[in-house]
Structure 1
Amino acid sequence: MTTSLPRSGQGFLSIILHAHLPYVRHPEHDSFFEENWLFEAMTECYLPLIAVLDRLHADNVDYRLTLSLSPTLISMLRDDLLQTRYLSYLHSRLELAEKEIIRTRKQPEYQKLARLYRRFYLHTLSTYQDRYQGDLLAAFKKHQSTGKLELITTAATHGFLPLLNVSETAVRNQVNTGIAMFKAATGSAPSGFWLPECAYYPGLETVLADAGIAYFFVDSHGIMDASSPPRHGVYAPIACGNGVAAFARDPESSRQVWSAKEGYPGDFDYREYYSDIGFERELDYIAPYILDGKTRINTGIKYHRVTGDNRPKEIYNPRQALAKAREHAQDFVDKRQRQIDRLGATMDDGRQPIIVAPYDAELFGHWWFEGTHWLEWVLRLASESTGGVQLSSCGDYLKQQPSPQVATPAASSWGDQGYSSYWINETNAWIYPLLHKAELQMEKLAHDVQGLTLTPIQTRALNQAARSILLAQASDWPFIMKSGTTIDYANKRVTDHLARFNYLHDCFRKNRLNERYLTALEIMDNIFPDIDFRDYNPSNVRVGFKPARS
């Protein structure tokens, strides 16, 4: 792979998308509602994003973009069962769009949109099935090979690392297992690492350095409150003193996209996410396309725009919305240019500022339907800029710019109130004693069998126990418990994974392993095929271990 350095200029803009979903795969059921999280993201975010990259490549646009792919998402995208179910999902949506074309035959404005959705789903099906043969990861790797897209990754199951740090072994296994999964899937080692929820604690940089990571991201206050006052604020990285650098989120560019009041996605011309025919059509009509024919859910077919001012929702105008997306892209690039103009006067050591703009990938296309088009225009406009703003990856920036100031970032996250309160509070604190107990039991198991000759079934059981530990540690479950969405499901995921661990632990200790039950667990939780339970032996912690670069 060749990587070009950005053109010289007054400053840089680095856009980072973090693509992550929790591991939701239920072969024990014929269908499962929460698997739709993946299918919706594939349809409205990942495939449209690949289409953006394809168009930029076809037009020879000299863009730079960083994409973080979580190991759980990588596993689900490559899973045969989920790929088959995704095709069924698309055919179901096509059938519903056809029904809507018939139903709206006397409502030309609505029928025009129904036809748009039919074209959208037909194109999605053709792209997924015929162009990419169901392998979206290969599409991302193709663009990585051009040097314009940088792929990085995150912790194995997106564990909230500051709250797992009761055991350094737990943190190391989240980091190292995630990197190993990424390397096996992409054939290359990531230079950057997305800390789950951008959650950092002092000392974490040591684990990242041992894993071969060059840089990571924190929220703004992670650098502003660092051990030494940052000379350039959030507009330059700091070096942690061990070969790893920390980049901070720029609050201004984040606010323009994320803010509920000021952010672009709330514009009245954009498609309204919450206005969906799954909640608006008669139950008998919509029953085949909702949960169990009874519980209303989003179908993806939405006819209204945001509208605003508490007025009845007006019909969506795609052409008008796309024009607004280009207008907002120009506004975003212009404001980054003005930022860089201001910052240029403050950089007195030969360093050029970098504006770091990290976002959840699923915002683009899924929550904000026009978001992928906005992103495409931002990348096009910035790449055409003859002024001071140039696109860059953080990896490229470190290669080109002088050595960063040395300091230790402050404990921080990008969650509400900036620390850990969203992931440990009255709704979810109960899970952590259970997680820590299971982790310590896993470590003791790995320690106690050191030097023993294990049977194949014993090795499989211990590896499956390690998978259950990782899956129970996902940050998604405490987040859901706090946000109050699918609380029952989040509770069940934690308790189920811990129950599976406890079952395997007890059966191993009592020498009562049942291969039939073990196989069933391996089928249900088939993630991390190369996991090695021996990594949970604290005496085997490979300090200084660095994954080989490809």
Structure 2
Amino acid sequence: MSDSTVGTFCLVLHSHLPWLAHHGRWPVGEEWLYQSWAHAYLPVVEVVSRLAEEGRRDLLTLGVTPVLAAQLDDPHCLDGMHHWLGGWMLRAHDAAARLPDLAAYEHRQAATALESFERGWRHGASPVLRGLSDAGAVELLGGPATHAFGPLLQPEVRAFALETGLVDTTVRLGTRPAGIWAPECGYAPGMEDGYAAAGVRRFLVDGPALRGETALARTVGSSDVVAFGRDLDVTYRVWSPRSGYPGGRDYRDFHTYDHPSGLKPARVTGRSVAPERKRPYDPQRAAAAVRRDAADFVAVVRSRLVDLQERLGRPALTVAAFDTELFGHWWHEGPAWLDAVLRLLPAAGVRVTSLRGAVDAGLVGGPVDIPESSWGSGKDWRVWAGEQVADIVGLNEQVQKTLLSSVAPGAARDPLRDALAQEALLALSSDWAFMVSKDSAAGYARERAHGHAQHVAELATLLRAGRRTAATRRIAQWPATPFGTVDARGLA
């Protein structure tokens, strides 16, 4: 590390959506996928690609949940995305007579996205991400197949979900990840041993799990697996449960729509301003806000690292971690802010690197015991195990019991049991409990959780009865899923 460097900053982005493909459009289903793809994944990759072309390396650490990676590679979704981008442009044209400035702006945005998609994404996300990884621009993380909340899984199911996800990522990207984003940053004591057995060397927890001591990565328990803690003082400067830059008055308001076109015509204006009283969106005002808030963030990071270095007597680390969807989807100007920050930090004497780069630089402290934790409300497990989702918790326990009894040791590979295992992993996704606890499309989430669980129970019954033809016919009636690397023998 250079003597002129005040410390190290790691940005971790995690791309995740629940399994949506072939499950309809607005207000749920594939519309969520296409919005995040157009407004976050495309522009964020463009930012990283531009910086990589300038010779910059180790810009950030990026996780893509395997179940999302499958959707971003799926021909059905690729075709749907192409049509969606064309529809975005048509919606802009339709609004031209009523909202000429907004329509012109949205036309340019849609044209840029369409050109980016046609140039680099028509064969899926995997070639794009692999190119950035091979160029050394990003470190790619893995994780469990369908974003299941690990602490609530039986150890055998937890290991199976993780191995399935790591194998899928290896197939798509060509290398097996050594780091993971643990879903919801969920942790229970002893999980590090499972990570070590799977070849995982590093993972992320939320800052309070380390009692706020996030200035260094830490080995966990008696293992040599390293945990990085999210620095909430820095992360919450951008986005917190109550504040952050995206709520600034000059940024585009996410919640206010021009309903005939579906476009977003307003700026935030003020937190208590009613939608009909919000002021028109002004890209120039937003650009000025990006410059201001990027400079503020860099100052915050630098000050934090200087204070930590003085306290520790050695170079320190700060980790900011967010959902990728914040940058462009929830916060329209997020990609521009990201570009500015990644350029300004090195000029301010801050080393920007990945989690892997931080370990290589020796920014690892002594062992620590981590308590039960997550990054959810209360930093405990209440979002995924609380009274409000007791039915889903009970459902998941039954799904795991059925799954574990479905494969005998030494059995040959069986596509029908693979299908059962895939449905079980989809049923166990943490998203369903999250959406119920947060009352975000709760009915849809319960329908999906119970639907996948019903598939598991039905298929297990048919297989126990030896009715393989009936099982095959039943599977053919389910929505098609491109997540195709599930091997149920891993449960034995």
Cα deviations across residues 299-341 of structure 1 (Å, max 9, x unaligned)?
3x11110001634200111111012112111110111111111
| Pair 1:303–1:463, CA change in 2 (3 A) | same
* Alignment of structure 1 residues 5-20 onto 2, 5 Å: 9-20=5-16
* Alignment of structure 1 residues 371-520 onto 2, 5 Å: 371-385=334-348, 387=349, 389-401=350-362, 404-447=365-408, 450-451=409-410, 459-513=414-468, 514=470, 516-520=472-476
Note the C-alpha offset of 1:468. 0.8
Residue aligning to 1:144: 133
Q: In the aligned structure 2, how far is the partner of 1:484 from the partner of 1:33?
A: 14
Residue aligning to 2:229: 248
**3-state DSSP class of the match of 1:314?**
coil
**Percent sequence identity over matched residues?**
29
**Given that residues 16 and 65 in structure 1 are in contact (C-alpha distance below 8 angstroms), is that contact kept between their aligned partners in structure 2?**
yes
Deviates more, 1:339-348 or 1:352-361: 339-348
**3-state DSSP class of the match of 2:458?**
helix
> TM-score of the superposition, structure 1-length normalised?
0.84
Q: Which runs of 5+ in 2 are unaligned?
A: none
Out of 195, 200, 206, which is 1:208 matched to?
195
Out of 31, 38, 47, which is 2:33 matched to?
38
Out of 47, 61, 86, which is 2:42 matched to?
47
Out of 214, 221, 229, which is 1:234 matched to?
214
| Pair 1:309–1:197, CA change in 2 (3 A) | closer
| Pair 1:62–1:383, CA change in 2 (3 A) | farther
Task: Name segments (4+ residues, structure 1) moved above 6 Å.
Answer: 5-8, 29-32
* Alignment of structure 1 residues 348-367 onto 2, 5 Å: 348=313, 351-367=314-330
Note the C-alpha offset of 1:42. 0.5
Cα deviations across residues 361-415 of structure 1 (Å, max 9, x unaligned)?
1011000000111111110011223x3x211212111122165201221211110
**Given that residues 170 and 176 in structure 2 are in contact (C-alpha distance below 8 angstroms), is that contact kept between their aligned partners in structure 1?**
yes
Q: In the aligned structure 2, how far is the partner of 1:24 from the partner of 1:520?
A: 18
**Given that residues 340 and 353 in structure 1 are in contact (C-alpha distance below 8 angstroms), is that contact kept between their aligned partners in structure 2?**
yes
Amino acid at match of 1:182: T
Deviates more, 1:302-311 or 1:169-178: 302-311
Amino acid at match of 2:482: N
Residue aligning to 2:304: 339
**Given that residues 459 and 471 in structure 2 are in contact (C-alpha distance below 8 angstroms), is that contact kept between their aligned partners in structure 1?**
no
Out of 107, 132, 141, which is 2:121 matched to?
132
**Given that residues 215 and 245 in structure 1 are in contact (C-alpha distance below 8 angstroms), is that contact kept between their aligned partners in structure 2?**
yes
Note the C-alpha offset of 1:179. 0.8
Deviates more, 1:200-209 or 1:303-312: 303-312
Amino acid at match of 1:426: E
Q: In the aligned structure 2, how far is the partner of 1:169 from the partner of 1:309?
A: 47
**Given that residues 352 and 401 in structure 1 are in contact (C-alpha distance below 8 angstroms), is that contact kept between their aligned partners in structure 2?**
no
**3-state DSSP class of the match of 2:406?**
helix
**Given that residues 7 and 390 in structure 1 are in contact (C-alpha distance below 8 angstroms), is that contact kept between their aligned partners in structure 2?**
no
Q: In the aligned structure 1, how far is the partner of 2:394 from the partner of 2:471?
A: 30
Note the C-alpha offset of 1:433. 2.1
Amino acid at match of 1:187: G
Q: In the aligned structure 1, how far is the partner of 2:236 from the partner of 2:428?
A: 30
> TM-score of the superposition, structure 2-length normalised?
0.94
Cα deviations across residues 53-74 of structure 1 (Å, max 9, x unaligned)?
1221233345621111110110
Note the C-alpha offset of 1:9. 2.4
Note the C-alpha offset of 1:264. 0.6
**1:302 is aligned to 2:264:** yes
Residue aligning to 2:481: 525
Q: In the aligned structure 2, how far is the partner of 1:515 from the partner of 1:465?
A: 10
> Which is higher, the Rg of structure 1 or of structure 2?
1
Amino acid at match of 2:265: Y
| Pair 1:205–1:533, CA change in 2 (3 A) | same
Q: In the aligned structure 1, how far is the partner of 2:107 from the partner of 2:366?
A: 54
Q: In the aligned structure 1, how far is the partner of 2:299 from the partner of 2:443?
A: 45
Residue aligning to 1:172: 159
Q: Which runs of 5+ in 1 are unaligned?
A: 105-109, 226-232, 287-298, 538-550
* Alignment of structure 1 residues 52-67 onto 2, 5 Å: 52-62=47-57, 64-67=59-62
Residue aligning to 2:74: 79
**Given that residues 63 and 383 in structure 1 are in contact (C-alpha distance below 8 angstroms), is that contact kept between their aligned partners in structure 2?**
no
**3-state DSSP class of the match of 2:167?**
helix
Cα deviations across residues 235-271 of structure 1 (Å, max 9, x unaligned)?
1111123220111111111111113544111100000
* Alignment of structure 1 residues 106-121 onto 2, 5 Å: 110-121=99-110
Residue aligning to 1:544: none
Amino acid at match of 2:218: I
Q: In the aligned structure 1, how far is the partner of 2:321 from the partner of 2:364?
A: 23
Amino acid at match of 1:72: V
RMSD: 2.1
Residue aligning to 1:191: 178
**3-state DSSP class of the match of 1:277?**
coil
Residue aligning to 2:112: 123
**3-state DSSP class of the match of 1:14?**
strand
**1:163 is aligned to 2:152:** yes
**Given that residues 464 and 521 in structure 1 are in contact (C-alpha distance below 8 angstroms), is that contact kept between their aligned partners in structure 2?**
no
**Given that residues 173 and 536 in structure 1 are in contact (C-alpha distance below 8 angstroms), is that contact kept between their aligned partners in structure 2?**
yes
Deviates more, 1:81-90 or 1:204-213: 81-90
Q: In the aligned structure 2, how far is the partner of 1:32 from the partner of 1:264?
A: 26
Amino acid at match of 1:506: T
Note the C-alpha offset of 1:441. 2.2
Note the C-alpha offset of 1:197. 0.6
